[in-house]
């Protein structure tokens, strides 16, 4: 990240703290707003928040790890959510998950590709059970997926990124 972007983001953090009047009781909305700025909760920013709100780093870390909504690591450029709710599960979403993990060389512990392009998440029902099994890529839902169509979708995204880079 270049320094002007990083300064701009840090200014946003200061604005967020001002908006919530540096109240420790507003820790959760503050963390949510910061995650919207960075896409995750950077360690150095959590340390800063700890000092600014006079809350121990361990308490902030506890909150950030308790809620699954928060993430402590940067996400990839594209976020793939594979639904593992009941309707998707019985329609073999597990096989899709396995195929995507294998294709992207990911595991339960490693959820973002080394090149930072893809992050894989599993989620409970996405509210589109009639289309099960469903995956959502960058907020766009794709229904009735199979392991093969999921992998093909990922490759189509890669190809589209390459084309955009070539014309940029």
Going by C-alpha positions, the residue among 48, 47, 49 that lies closest to residue 23 is 49
Strand partners, 119: 79, 112
Q: Is 83 among the residues that bind ligand FES (CB under 6 A)?
A: yes
Q: Is 136 among the residues that bind ligand FES (CB under 6 A)?
A: no
CA distance readout (Å), 117 to 13, 59, 108, 133, 153: 26, 31, 17, 23, 14
42 or 85: CB nearest ligand FES: 85
Q: What angle, 0 to 180 degrees and rounded to 10, lies between the N-to-C axes of helices 43-53 and 57-66?
A: 120
Which of 134, 135, 136, 150: binder of ligand FES (CB under 6 A)? 134
What is the SS3 assignment for 118? strand
Q: How far is the CB of 107 from ligand FES (least distance, A)?
A: 22
Q: Is 85 among the residues that bind ligand FES (CB under 6 A)?
A: yes
What is the SS3 assignment for 47? helix
Which of 28, 55, 129, 153: binder of ligand FES (CB under 6 A)? 129
Which of 80, 132, 136, 145: binder of ligand FES (CB under 6 A)? 132
Q: Considering only 5-13, 41-49, 78-86, 103-111, which stretch makes contact with ligand FES by CB under 6 A?
A: 78-86
């Amino acid at each position: 990240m270049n320094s002007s972007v990083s300064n701009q983001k840090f200014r946003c953090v200061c604005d967020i703290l001002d908006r919530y009047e540096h109240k420790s009781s507003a820790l959760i909305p503050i963390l949510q707003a910061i995650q919207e700025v960075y896409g995750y909760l950077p360690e150095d920013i959590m340390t800063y928040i700890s000092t600014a709100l006079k809350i121990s780093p361990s308490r902030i870390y506890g909150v950030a790890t308790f809620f699954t909504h928060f993430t402590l690591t940067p996400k990839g450029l594209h976020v793939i959510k594979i639904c593992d709710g009941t309707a998707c599960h019985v329609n073999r979403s597990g096989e899709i998950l396995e195929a995507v993990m294998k294709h992207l060389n990911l595991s339960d512990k490693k959820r973002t590709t080394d090149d930072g392009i893809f992050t894989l998440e599993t989620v409970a029902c996405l509210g589109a059970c009639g289309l099960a099994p469903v995956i959502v890529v960058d907020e766009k839902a794709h229904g009735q997926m199979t392991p093969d169509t999921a992998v093909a979708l990922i490759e189509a995204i890669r190809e589209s990124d390459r084309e955009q880079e070539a014309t940029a």
